[in-house]
Amino acid sequence: MTDDNLFQIYSAGNSREASLVVKLLADGGIEARVASDSLEGVIGEVPFFLSICPVWIHEADRERAQAVMREFQSAGEGGESLPDIFCYECGAVLAEHLAECPHCGSPLDWS
């Protein structure tokens, strides 16, 4: 993804939430990236607003991405409930806290 014509579609509170949003967008055929997921570890050392995880898309995908985000946000507002536990690498819903995702094999850190 190049930096030309990018649009910030979402500001996640942490990299796990941002990864879920990127996966939801990818499932909708929309390329997305997290711009600052490496800053999460410095919370407390830098102002909070610098440690958020913005999710960026191509401007051309803005309308489709906004539709995906409306659905995602309405799920958290009394619509279909969001999963409590999910793999932050692939987005798979998990029945319990596991050390490794059974779907993609990624190690999971619940601390």
The predicted structure's pLDDT at residue 66: 92
Rounded distance between C-alpha atoms, residue 45 and residue 77, angstroms: 32
The predicted structure's pLDDT at residue 37: 47
The predicted structure's pLDDT at residue 1: 60
Beta strands in 1-111 (DSSP E): 6-12, 32-34, 53-58
Which pair of structure tokens corresponds to residue 66? 């906004």
Rounded distance between C-alpha atoms, residue 1 and residue 45, angstroms: 29
Rounded distance between C-alpha atoms, residue 15 and residue 60, angstroms: 24
The predicted structure's pLDDT at residue 45: 55
Q: Which CATH number does 6-75 carry?
A: 3.30.70.1530
Profile the chain (111 residues) by mean pLDDT over runs of 10 residues. 80 83 93 71 51 86 91 65 69 80 85 66
The predicted structure's pLDDT at residue 110: 72
Rounded distance between C-alpha atoms, residue 111 and residue 94, angstroms: 16
Q: Which of 80, 67, 75, 82 is nearest to 30 (CA)?
A: 67
The predicted structure's pLDDT at residue 60: 95
Q: Enumerate residues 6+ apart whose C-beta is below 8 A from 103.
A: 87, 90, 92
